[in-house]
Structure 1
C-alpha cells in the first residue's frame, strides 16, 4: 500500500473487525453495527465478535428467559470459540449443558447467581477442563460435591470465586468445612481464592487451604467470622500470600477484572494490619438487583 493511501473500514478482515467491535456496548453490537454495511453485519454474525461473551451486567436486570435466549444466540454465533463467558442468573439444566458442549476453548467462566445443582455440576465438570478462572458466587444449591468435581476435572484452575450474601448465609452456619476441604484437596494450583461470607469456614478449614495450595497469592476471608489466623505466622511462613478479612468495616471491593485477576495492587492488605483496617471503608461491594436494598445496606457486625 502506498504511503498516504487509506483503506475502507469495510475492507478490514473479520477478525480485525471483531477485535474492534467487542469493545462496543452489547445493544449497539447487536442492533447498530449490523445495519452499517454487509461486511460489518457478516463480522457480527460470525465467531470473531463472540470469543468473549460478557453479558453479566445486562443479565442482572433481565428476565431469565431473555437471558437464556440471548446466551443461546451468542453461543451459536461463537461456533465453539468462546474464551470467556460471564452471565448471571441462569436457571435451567439444558443451558448449562449447552455451555459445556461449547467449552473446548473456554478459560474464564463466571456464572454467579445461577440455579445449578450438584448433579448438574458433576455432569458438566468433565467438559470444563481448560478453565483457569471460575466464579460460582451466590450459587446456593451447590455444595462441596460440586467443588470436588470441579477440582478433579479442572486441573488448570488458578482462580475461584465463591462469595456469598451475608444474610442468606445465616441459614447455613451449621455446616462444617466440607467446601474448604474440597478446595484444599482438589485445587492445589490455586493462586486466587475468594470466599467472602462463606461463613461456615473456620480456622481449620482456612489453614488446610493455605497449606494445601502452595501457589496461593490472594485469599479473601472477609465475613468468615469463625476464622482466626495468626498474622505473624502467615507473614513468616507464607510471605507471598495476601489475606483479606475476616473483619469487615463497611463494604467489600468490586473486582471484575477476570483477565488480570492475578495482578495485585496496593489495595490488597496483609492480615491483621491496623493501618489497612482503616481503609476497608473505601472498598466497594456489588450486590445484584434482586436483593432488597435495605438488606444490602446493613452489614452484620463483626462478632
Structure 2
C-alpha cells in the first residue's frame, strides 16, 4: 500500500496468468519485448503457458516459407505437450507435421492451410489427432480423400472442417467427389463445413447433408456444378445455413509469396531452448511495399470462432 493505493507487482503473477495476458500480444512482442521486462516474464515466455495456443497465421504469410517449420518446432517444443491450438500456413514437409502430431495429445484446433503434407503421413498419424474438434486443410493440394477418410475415422470429436480450394489456380483443381464421399461417410458429427471452390456436384452435397445430421453451416461458394434450386432449399433442415454456390460476398486477396528474403525479425538460431539469444533479435525495417505480390487466395478460416466450437464439445 503506497499513498492509499494498492500497488501490484506484475512480476509476481502466476505463469499461467501471464500466459493468458501475453496471448493478446503479437508474436514479435512476445518473443522480443516481453522477455526483456524481467526475469519472471522471460521464464514465462520460455515455458508452456504462453504456447498452449499457437496462432502464427499472419506471421507465416509474411515470412520466408523456409522459416515457418523451424519457428513452429520451437514453439511446439515450448508448449510442453499442452497444445490446444495450432494455426499456421505453409508447413513445408511431413517431418514437421509428424513433430506436431507427436505433441498433440490435447490439441483441439488444427488449422494448417496451404501445407505441403502428404496422404501417407496423415494416414500414419491421424490417430494422434483424436482430440481435434476443428481442422482446416484448405489449399492443401497433396492431400486427398485418403487423408480425409483417415481423419474422419480417427477424429471422432470433429465438429468443424474446412477444405476450401483456390478460386483461380485451375492447375491445382481436380474432381473431388471422392472427398465428399469421405466427408459424408466418416464425419457425421460435423456442424460446420467449408468446401468452397471444390469440384463437387449437387449429389455430393446432398449426400453430405443427409449423412451429417447435425450440420448447421455449409459453405459451397464457387462449387459451380452444385445446383440448389428453391425447391431444394425449402426442403433443407431449418437449422442448416447454406452459403453459395454463387459468391455473394467480397473476399480478401492475399499474396502467397508475400515474404522478405531478408527476414530479420527473428534470429531463429537464438530461439533455441538452450540459448539466451531471445534478447538479440533485430527489428524488421523492410517496408511492405517492397514485398513481392503473388497469387490470390481466399482466407475463409479467419472467420472461425473458437468459442463457437468450444460450445459444441
Normalising by structure 1, report the TM-score: 0.82
The structure-2 alpha-carbon separation of the partners of 1:240 and 1:105, relative to structure 1 and needing over 3 Å to count, comes to: same
Q: Given that residues 256 and 295 in structure 2 are in contact (C-alpha distance below 8 angstroms), is that contact kept between their aligned partners in structure 1?
A: no
Instruction: Please tell me whether residue 36 in structure 1 is matched to residue 37 in structure 2.
Output: yes
C-alpha deviation, 1:7, in angstroms: 1.9
The structure-2 alpha-carbon separation of the partners of 1:171 and 1:44, relative to structure 1 and needing over 3 Å to count, comes to: closer
Deviations 1:28-73 (A, max 9, x none): 1001110110011011111111010001111112123311111111
Give the Cα–Cα distance (whole angstroms) in 2 for the partners of residues 51 and 231 of structure 1: 45
C-alpha deviation, 1:83, in angstroms: 0.3
C-alpha deviation, 1:286, in angstroms: 4.4
Deviations 1:227-279 (A, max 9, x none): 0123343333411111111112xxxxxxxxxxxxxxxxxxxxxxxxxxxxxxx
The structure-2 alpha-carbon separation of the partners of 1:114 and 1:42, relative to structure 1 and needing over 3 Å to count, comes to: same
The structure-2 alpha-carbon separation of the partners of 1:176 and 1:73, relative to structure 1 and needing over 3 Å to count, comes to: closer
Instruction: Please tell me whether residue 27 in structure 1 is matched to residue 28 in structure 2.
Output: yes
Q: Given that residues 22 and 30 in structure 2 are in contact (C-alpha distance below 8 angstroms), is that contact kept between their aligned partners in structure 1?
A: yes
SS in 2 for 1:296: coil
C-alpha deviation, 1:166, in angstroms: 1.9
What is the match of residue 16 of structure 1?
17
SS in 2 for 1:30: helix
The structure-2 alpha-carbon separation of the partners of 1:138 and 1:186, relative to structure 1 and needing over 3 Å to count, comes to: same
What is the match of residue 178 of structure 2?
178
Runs (5+) with no aligned partner, structure 2 = 259-291, 298-313
SS in 2 for 1:137: coil
What is the match of residue 128 of structure 2?
127
What is the match of residue 82 of structure 1?
83
What is the match of residue 238 of structure 1?
237
Runs (5+) with no aligned partner, structure 1 = 249-279, 298-303
What is the match of residue 259 of structure 1?
none
Give the Cα–Cα distance (whole angstroms) in 2 for the partners of residues 65 and 93 of structure 1: 14
Q: Given that residues 221 and 246 in structure 1 are in contact (C-alpha distance below 8 angstroms), is that contact kept between their aligned partners in structure 2?
A: yes
Would you say how many aligned residue pairs link Structure 1 and Structure 2?
Answer: 263
Alignment of 1:219-238 (within 5 A): 219-238=218-237
Give the Cα–Cα distance (whole angstroms) in 1 for the partners of residues 173 and 106 of structure 2: 35
**Structure 1 stretch displaced more, 126-135 or 175-184:** 175-184
Alignment of 1:77-116 (within 5 A): 77-116=78-117
Give the Cα–Cα distance (whole angstroms) in 2 for the partners of residues 188 and 53 of structure 1: 28
Flag the structure with more relative contact order, 1 or 2, with Cα contacts below 8 A and sequence separation at least 6. Answer: 2
**Structure 1 stretch displaced more, 85-94 or 177-186:** 85-94
| Aligned-residue RMSD, C-alpha | 2.1
C-alpha deviation, 1:152, in angstroms: 0.3
C-alpha deviation, 1:4, in angstroms: 4.5
Give the Cα–Cα distance (whole angstroms) in 1 for the partners of residues 150 and 85 of structure 2: 21
Alignment of 1:1-303 (within 5 A): 4-169=5-170, 172-173=173-174, 175=175, 177-198=177-198, 200-248=199-247, 280-281=248-249, 283-290=250-257, 296=296
Give the Cα–Cα distance (whole angstroms) in 1 for the partners of residues 64 and 221 of structure 2: 31
Q: Given that residues 159 and 193 in structure 1 are in contact (C-alpha distance below 8 angstroms), is that contact kept between their aligned partners in structure 2?
A: yes
C-alpha deviation, 1:10, in angstroms: 0.5
Q: Given that residues 169 and 197 in structure 1 are in contact (C-alpha distance below 8 angstroms), is that contact kept between their aligned partners in structure 2?
A: no
The structure-2 alpha-carbon separation of the partners of 1:288 and 1:124, relative to structure 1 and needing over 3 Å to count, comes to: farther
The structure-2 alpha-carbon separation of the partners of 1:26 and 1:132, relative to structure 1 and needing over 3 Å to count, comes to: same
